[in-house]
Amino acid sequence: MDKNENKKINFSVAIITYNEEANIRDCINSVHEFCEEIIILDSLSTDKTLEIAKTFAKVKIYSQKFKGHIEQKNDAIALCKNDWILSLDADERATPELMSSIQTILETPLDVNGFKVSRLTFHMGRFIYHSGWYPQFRFRFFKKGFAKWTGENPHDYITIEGKGKNLKGDIIHYSFKDLSNQVDTINKFSSIVAFTRYNKGISFSITRSILKPITKFLEIYIFKLGFLDGYPGFVIAVSSAYSTFLKTAKMYELKRKTISRPSNLRPDYGNET
């Protein structure tokens, strides 16, 4: 047997940040022991995000104006030097089981270009195992040059060329500080979606604005078993319906020229997204 056949392959971790001082330390700690480098692409944070990140030896920091979630994450991938990359958000943590799974597969010949990972979200004091939030398998560990972030800002996902498999272990997602933070996020993200769709020429539909929130609630709470997540499952279903409504209502504002852009968009969020 060739002495290099079972040689461990190094991998990179790619993270984008903007004012993530509350999350970035735990995010880095969850992967720092296992990877060769951690790429942080920051979009001009004004808090202590970069000060904290600089305390880790494997971290390489880059900064640029925010282009959009998809564009920013693809730029972070491009900065990685290794062939294999784990892409994380700053509010996510890789579990020890996931890190063990990655170490195992990198010690054997690989015949795929990407691996899907389940994401488990902690919200309102508990982990959410239904409501369409789990296992929510998505490609997160992949071979550079065979994967890219795509989708619709800010709801992005990775697509790969070639074959993929699932990995054991979770990405733990601490998505919201509390319910107030969730409402703020829904307001912000719905503005991004509405602005993006409007700039793409997607038309407003009054029928969709009325019916889609109702069907979204039923989808989450009934068909995706949100009721099994207790009261947080009900809140998630209502919040999803509210988010769906806001996206279409804000498109109505834009279509009628009531506004030129939602007021809560970041100043550097331009029409290019």
Q: Is residue 107 part of a domain?
A: yes
**What is the predicted pLDDT for the residue at 7?**
62
Residue at which a domain ends, from 135, 157, 173: 173
Q: Is residue 266 part of a domain?
A: no
Q: Cα angle at 152 between 127 and 193, to 5 degrees?
A: 85
**What is the predicted pLDDT for the residue at 109?**
74
Same domain, 22 and 122: yes
Q: Does the bond joining 154 to the residue before it have cis omega, within 30 degrees of 0?
A: yes
Same domain, 88 and 16: yes
* CA 28 – CA 253 distance, rounded (Å): 40
Q: Is residue 53 part of a domain?
A: yes
**What is the predicted pLDDT for the residue at 3?**
46
pLDDT in tens, 191-214: 999 999 999 999 999 999 999 999
Same domain, 98 and 39: yes
The better pLDDT of the pair 267, 214 is held by 214
Overall average pLDDT of the 31-58 stretch: 97
Residue at which a domain ends, from 173, 202, 228: 173
Same domain, 122 and 239: no
Same domain, 163 and 251: no
Q: Is residue 5 part of a domain?
A: no
Is the Cβ–Cβ distance between 264 and 185 less than 8 Å?
no
**What is the predicted pLDDT for the residue at 137?**
96
Query: What is the percentage of the chain residues whose pLDDT exceeds 70?
Result: 95
pLDDT in tens, 150-201: 998 889 999 999 999 999 999 999 989 999 999 999 999 999 999 999 999 9
Q: Is residue 262 part of a domain?
A: no
* CA 149 – CA 216 distance, rounded (Å): 25
Reply yes or no on whether the pLDDT at 273 is more than 60: no
Same domain, 130 and 233: no
Same domain, 16 and 140: yes
Reply yes or no on whether the pLDDT at 272 is more than 60: no
**What is the predicted pLDDT for the residue at 75?**
98
Q: Is residue 147 part of a domain?
A: yes
**What is the predicted pLDDT for the residue at 4?**
47
φ/ψ (deg, to 5) at 39: -95, 125
Residue 2's pLDDT band (cuts 50, 70, 90): very low
Same domain, 197 and 164: no
Is the Cβ–Cβ distance between 55 and 33 less than 8 Å?
no
Overall average pLDDT of the 55-60 stretch: 97
**What is the predicted pLDDT for the residue at 9?**
82
**What is the predicted pLDDT for the residue at 1?**
38
Same domain, 229 and 139: no
- Parent domain of 244: 179-255
pLDDT in tens, 92-144: 999 999 999 999 999 987 899 999 999 999 999 999 999 999 999 999 999 99
The answer to pTM > 0.85 is yes
Contacts for 227-232: CB closer than 8 Å, 24+ residues apart: 228/129, 228/130, 229/126, 229/128, 229/129, 229/130, 229/131, 230/126, 231/124, 232/123, 232/124, 232/125, 232/126, 232/128
Same domain, 16 and 121: yes
Q: Is residue 152 part of a domain?
A: yes
Count of domains observed in the chain: 2
Residue 74 sits in a domain whose CATH number is: 3.90.550.10
Residue at which a domain ends, from 130, 153, 173: 173
Q: Is residue 164 part of a domain?
A: yes
Residue 6's pLDDT band (cuts 50, 70, 90): low
Same domain, 204 and 169: no
How far, in Å, are 56, 129, 195 from residue 136 at the CA level?
A: 30, 10, 26
pLDDT in tens, 250-265: 999 999 998 999 999 9
Same domain, 95 and 164: yes
